Amino acid sequence: MRRQFSIRSKLFAAILLTLVVSHLFLFYVTITSSTSSLNKEIDKDLESNLRFAKSQYLGQADLIRNSLALPISAQPVRDRILARDRLWLEDALRRWHHALPFTDLLSIVDSSGRVIVRLNGRSGDDQFRPAALLQLAHSRRAPLVTTELISRDDFCREGDAAVCASIPPDGDLMMITVVMPVIAADDSFLGWVVVGNALNKDTRLPYQIQKVFGKEVAVAITQRGALIASSSEALGTKTGRLSTKILNRLQSGYTYHGSTTFGNRSFEMVAEPLTNSNGTFIGSLAVALTRENYLNIRQDSIRTTLISGVFGIFLSFAIAYYASRRFTTPLLELNRKAEEIQAGDFTQRVMVASNDELGQLADSFNRMAKAVAERDATIRKKNEALEDLNEVLEKRVAERTAQLRMEMEMMEAILTSMVDGVVVTNRKNHIAHINPAAQKIFGVAAEDILGLPIDQACRRGDFCALVEQIREFSAESVRVLELPIGGKDLKISIAPLLDEGGFYSGLVMSIRDVTLEGDVNRMKSAFISTMSHELKTPLTSMKGSLQVILNKGKWLTGTERELLVVCLRNTDRLIRMINSILEISKIESGNVEFSMKPIPVNELLIYAIEEQKGFALSRNISLVNTAASDLPMVLGMRDRLIQVLANLISNAVKFSPAGTVVMISAQRDGEFIAISVADHGRSISPDDRSKLFTKFQQFSTTEESGIGGTGLGLAICKEIVEKHGGRISYQPGLAGGNVFTFTVPIFEESHGQEQDSHR
């Protein structure tokens, strides 16, 4: 007869088996993962330490290059090198060495390769060696950073005497070398500044690494396999050498990565070859980590896992026994009560002793017995509650409908009374609303076009030119247009309508008739142009008379001469303002001919910068051109584009604090070249930005700086740029200041042929 086990026995066996298997699996996973984690941790630490060691190795070279970049580009230094002024240059070397005390070699060499001055005080006029480094830096026309092996004779002639004494006869020295060419402002070559840091006497790098990562990390630098710097005695002294296996791999140009033993300690090491400027192997940089610490951690983890596993197995028996009794006792009680209810006793209830699933089952059992008797009463109560709720909802719907009706009537009244026209379309571009002002502007009635597609409705109101602009409209932005429609000049603002989900659901267009405003502006421009012509002739005569009096009036007193100078200066200012007014009037009226030709972008930048260079120097401001040299040519009028760029640079210099930099840049933007001028002055206030390119506008920045102007410069720039088919814009700098940008179309062959055909 097959033995039947109770649910308690089955549950006990299942829980016990699950716990024991879980502990065994955990033990296996712990041992496996600890080994894998150990190897990954070693690889991660090696990569991290090698990156840090490389950054420290090249850090001093970067410091030298960055520290000397500005001094050697200064005009006084260039002039002294060209004049071979040894006394002045020796003093400069001492100052540079004071800023870079770790350097062991510091020499200035002229363009023929002859040494002008050395840091060690030796007389110059002999050839610098090795000369190949000079030629390599000259060919690149950029600083050369390299690690080189320098012979004892070459170093002793150029470098520090104390370091020279430490080099054995016929020996050589490994040195981080920086060769910086000196270029004149006209791009002619003046010479070199050569700086070196001897690694054989600089043992700080290994100990800097060890200070950060601890004694488990060892760092070494080798010269042709011989150790010249080490942070750990376990790696050997400076007289030690790398093994032949490691050295052969490094000489082949490969990084060595593997296990090795130094003394009685085991290391995981990575070594990277160091090459000179010719790519020849001269040494290596090695980082090693001890494995002892990681192995101890692994052994401790295994020991802890074993102890917890044994304890867990004993605990599993107790947990399994308790859990089996805890879970089966309520089930047996529930089974007994169910049999009594089956017999007809509906008053039976099960005691709820907990809040877990078994307690919830007992509570559900009790509620099930009670639910049948209470079902009818509950249904009646729910029906009454639903009737009350329906009444409340109907009242709220009526109130909301009345509110929406009032809002719609208010909106209709607002749209009807607006002076500007308003046209609204739905997502299919059908006319959904047109107010009386728009009906009057377009000469249509609402009943004739409502519900029609806009491309059909436009034929009845003669505004199809607007439909062409709507087809090109992007639903992600607001667009403002000025279009002549039906003999009227209209200013139209187009904005998208978005639903609650942010999706496109139509357009809203605001239309304003600006015909009268345009006529007034033209009358104003004509009046100003006429008055300017009338004022220019007497002002020119006054200027000439004042100049004659100042030049020949020896009898004038100091006060009289000062007053005449003020009169002459104000006369010049009025003449410049009148010339600006006449110029913008000619451009606006179309009387200025723009002869478009292909022009190199860098030529425009160079001429404009040269034009403002003297002004910038007088205010102690640097002009920096960051444009790339491979930009395509643009199509435009050379003098006018230089005028625009020079005006923007002049404004940037005017309103920048002394000692700052004005950046001039250019980059491709689709079919245009975008040219930008960025300064570090105070940003223009948001209230003034919308009026930047209008005539006769001067802002608070101008008044505070004490620099006056006509207020026409940016307006002229805008007219010139737009005549070229480009756009001019302003935006505040990311870190303060102002950035003005204008675009010029790129010259292409088709443009050139079109220009030739027009000629």
Pairing type for strands 661-669 and 622-625 reads parallel
Same domain, yes or no: 646 and 715: yes
Same domain, yes or no: 136 and 218: yes
β-strand partners of 734: 736
pLDDT at position 497 is 80
**Is the pLDDT assigned to residue 700 strictly greater than 60?**
no
Q: With pLDDT > 70 as the criterion, what percentage of the chain qualifies? A: 77
**Is the pLDDT assigned to residue 378 strictly greater than 60?**
yes
Residue 319 lies in a domain: no
673 and 600 in contact (C-beta within 8 Å)?
no
Q: pLDDT of 43-81, one tens digit each?
A: 787 888 888 888 878 888 888 989 998 999 899 999 999
Among 559, 592, 625, where does a domain finish?
A: 592
The one-letter code for the residue type at 134 is: L
pLDDT at position 595 is 78
* Range of weakest confidence among 60-64, 201-205, 413-417, 626-630: 201-205
**Is the pLDDT assigned to residue 22 strictly greater than 80?**
no
Average pLDDT over residues 473-479: 64
Same domain, yes or no: 619 and 639: yes
Q: Is 737 helix (H, G, I), strand (E, B) or coil?
A: coil
CA atoms of 365 and 342, how far apart (whole Å): 13
**The domain containing residue 459 runs over which residues?**
416-592
Residue 25 lies in a domain: no
Same domain, yes or no: 85 and 203: yes
Same domain, yes or no: 431 and 364: no
Same domain, yes or no: 562 and 656: no
Residue 757: pLDDT band by 50, 70, 90 thresholds? Answer: very low
pLDDT at position 182 is 93
Average pLDDT over residues 275-294: 83
CA atoms of 671 and 582, how far apart (whole Å): 32
Q: Within 10 A of 634 (CB to CB), how many other CB atoms are there? A: 25
Residue 114: pLDDT band by 50, 70, 90 thresholds? Answer: very high
Domain CATH code at residue 274: 3.30.450.40
**Is the pLDDT assigned to residue 438 strictly greater than 90?**
no
Among 334, 356, 379, where does a domain finish?
A: 379
Residue 607: pLDDT band by 50, 70, 90 thresholds? Answer: very high
Residue 58 lies in a domain: yes
**Is the pLDDT assigned to residue 209 strictly greater than 70?**
no
Residue 758: pLDDT band by 50, 70, 90 thresholds? Answer: very low
Round the average pLDDT of the chain to a whole number and report it.
Answer: 79
Q: pLDDT of 630-678, one tens digit each?
A: 999 999 988 889 989 999 999 999 989 999 999 999 999 999 999 999 9
Same domain, yes or no: 74 and 210: yes
Alpha-carbon distances, residue 455 vs 77, 435, 479 (angstroms): 71, 18, 19
Same domain, yes or no: 155 and 285: yes
pLDDT at position 240 is 64
Average pLDDT over residues 483-489: 74
190 and 81 in contact (C-beta within 8 Å)?
yes
Average pLDDT over residues 234-255: 75
Number of domains in the chain: 4
Same domain, yes or no: 614 and 531: no
Average pLDDT over residues 518-531: 64
- What secondary structure, in 3-state letters, does 45-90 show? HHHHHHHHHHHHHHHHHHHHHHHHHHHHHCHHHHHHHHHCCHHHHH
Residue 564 lies in a domain: yes
Q: What is the CB-side half-sphere exposure of residue 329 using CA atoms within 13 A?
A: 11
Average pLDDT over residues 507-524: 72
Same domain, yes or no: 173 and 199: yes
pLDDT at position 704 is 46
Q: Is 345 helix (H, G, I), strand (E, B) or coil?
A: coil
**Is the pLDDT assigned to residue 389 strictly greater than 70?**
yes
CA atoms of 4 and 299, how far apart (whole Å): 47
Alpha-carbon distances, residue 571 vs 544, 546, 696, 702, 709 (angstroms): 10, 9, 18, 20, 14
**Is the pLDDT assigned to residue 753 strictly greater than 60?**
no
Burial 1-12 (b: 16+ CB within 10 A, else e): eeeeeeebeebb
Same domain, yes or no: 140 and 288: yes
Q: Within 10 A of 222 (CB to CB), how many other CB atoms are there? A: 26
CA atoms of 631 and 740, how far apart (whole Å): 20
Question: Which two structure tokens, joined as six digits, stand for 352?
Answer: 């709820």
pLDDT at position 531 is 64
**Is the pLDDT assigned to residue 174 strictly greater than 60?**
yes
461 and 442 in contact (C-beta within 8 Å)?
yes
CA atoms of 206 and 229, how far apart (whole Å): 7
* Range of weakest confidence among 221-225, 458-462, 747-751: 747-751
Q: pLDDT of 442-475, one tens digit each?
A: 778 878 788 888 777 777 766 776 777 676 665 5
Q: With pLDDT > 90 as the criterion, what percentage of the chain qualifies? A: 18
pLDDT at position 693 is 81
The one-letter code for the residue type at 78 is: R
pLDDT at position 304 is 78
pLDDT at position 759 is 41
CA atoms of 650 and 654, how far apart (whole Å): 6
DSSP letter at 680 equals: -
CA atoms of 720 and 738, how far apart (whole Å): 21
**Is the pLDDT assigned to residue 120 strictly greater than 90?**
no
CA atoms of 584 and 580, how far apart (whole Å): 6
Q: pLDDT of 84-96, one tens digit each?
A: 999 999 999 999 9
Same domain, yes or no: 427 and 552: yes
> How much is the pTM?
0.40
* Range of weakest confidence among 90-99, 114-123, 177-186, 542-551: 542-551
Residue 717 lies in a domain: yes
Residue 385 lies in a domain: no
Residue 400 lies in a domain: no
CA atoms of 125 and 112, how far apart (whole Å): 10
**Is the pLDDT assigned to residue 573 strictly greater than 70?**
no
**Is the pLDDT assigned to residue 600 strictly greater than 90?**
yes
- What secondary structure, in 3-state letters, does 580-643 show? HHHHHHHHHHCCCCCCCEEECHHHHHHHHHHHHHHHHHHCCCEEEECCCCCCCCEEECHHHHHH
**Is the pLDDT assigned to residue 740 strictly greater than 90?**
yes
Domain CATH code at residue 431: 3.30.450.20
Residue 6 lies in a domain: no
Among 565, 592, 619, where does a domain finish?
A: 592
